[in-house]
């Protein structure tokens, strides 16, 4: 496959790959620290509510489906359908942020802070950085929905799918394996 064969603009691919590299570095460090302190990471992990992560997974995957449908609709020149899909994808991002806020509030009330344990340092840093990307993605999706052009919808959907992918990479490391 050649660079010219990739969908979208090269600069967007550079952005996506660089963002994935940043997240993978953080995830890798978290895994190494967890291997050095498996009991501590297991005890810290046990304090999380996995139901919130499960709900947010459903929300983001569904939101990604709406982004993909928006991209398909834009390619077919169904701009109304693309706008609806983009806005539904953005709504999924907002719901994700609300659920994440509720989860953070619960954790903070339970006395879980960024400095409680290295597990929680990475929990807050990685999930917080992801939430920042969700905020950016919601903004992009809403902006593109205002002036819908097929190439812009594709770019917005690509960014949103990167946000989904990062969540799928975070989920097992933070909420499942310890």
Of residues 8 and 14, more confidence is placed in 14
Contact 145, 93 (CB under 8 A): no
- Under the banding of pLDDT at 50, 70 and 90, the label for residue 178 is confident
Which among 66, 64, 71, 65 has a CA at the least distance from the CA of 150?
Answer: 71
83 within some domain:
yes
Per-residue confidence (pLDDT) for residue 92, from 0 to 100 = 98
Q: Mean pLDDT across the stretch 67-82?
A: 96
Average confidence score pLDDT of the chain: 94
110 within some domain:
yes
Per-residue confidence (pLDDT) for residue 5, from 0 to 100 = 59
Residue 35 reports pLDDT greater than 90: yes
- Under the banding of pLDDT at 50, 70 and 90, the label for residue 11 is confident
Per-residue confidence (pLDDT) for residue 132, from 0 to 100 = 98
35 within some domain:
no
CATH of the domain at 150: 1.20.120.80
High-pLDDT (> 90) share of the chain, %: 89
Q: Mean pLDDT across the stretch 136-146?
A: 97
Residue 3 reports pLDDT greater than 60: no
Residue 25 reports pLDDT greater than 70: yes
Residue 1 reports pLDDT greater than 80: no
Residue 169 reports pLDDT greater than 90: yes
d(CA 101, CA 67): 23
13 within some domain:
no
Per-residue confidence (pLDDT) for residue 144, from 0 to 100 = 97
d(CA 36, CA 49): 24
7 within some domain:
no
Tally of residues, the chain: 178
149 within some domain:
yes
Domain that holds residue 55: 50-176
30 within some domain:
no
What would the two tokens of residue 135 be?
Answer: 């905020």
Q: How many domains does the chain have?
A: 1
Which among 65, 97, 82 has a CA at the least distance from the CA of 144?
Answer: 82
Q: Mean pLDDT across the stretch 148-152?
A: 91
20 within some domain:
no
Contact 165, 62 (CB under 8 A): no
High-pLDDT (> 70) share of the chain, %: 96
């Amino acid at each position: 496959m050649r660079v010219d064969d990739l969908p979208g603009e090269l600069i967007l691919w550079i952005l996506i790959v660089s963002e994935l590299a940043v997240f993978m570095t953080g995830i890798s460090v978290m895994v190494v620290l967890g291997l050095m302190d498996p009991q501590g990471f297991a005890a810290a992990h046990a304090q999380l509510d996995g139901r919130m992560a499960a709900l947010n997974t459903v929300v983001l995957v569904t939101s990604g489906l709406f982004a993909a449908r928006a991209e398909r609709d834009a390619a077919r020149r169904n701009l109304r359908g693309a706008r609806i899909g983009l806005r539904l994808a953005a709504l999924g991002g907002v719901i994700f942020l609300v659920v994440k806020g509720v989860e953070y509030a619960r954790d903070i009330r339970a006395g879980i802070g960024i400095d409680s344990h290295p597990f929680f340092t990475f929990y807050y840093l990685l999930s917080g950085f992801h939430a920042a990307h969700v905020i950016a993605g919601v903004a992009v999706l809403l902006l593109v929905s205002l002036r819908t052009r097929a190439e812009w919808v594709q770019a917005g959907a690509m960014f949103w799918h990167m946000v989904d992918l990062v969540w799928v990479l975070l989920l097992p490391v933070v909420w499942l394996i310890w």
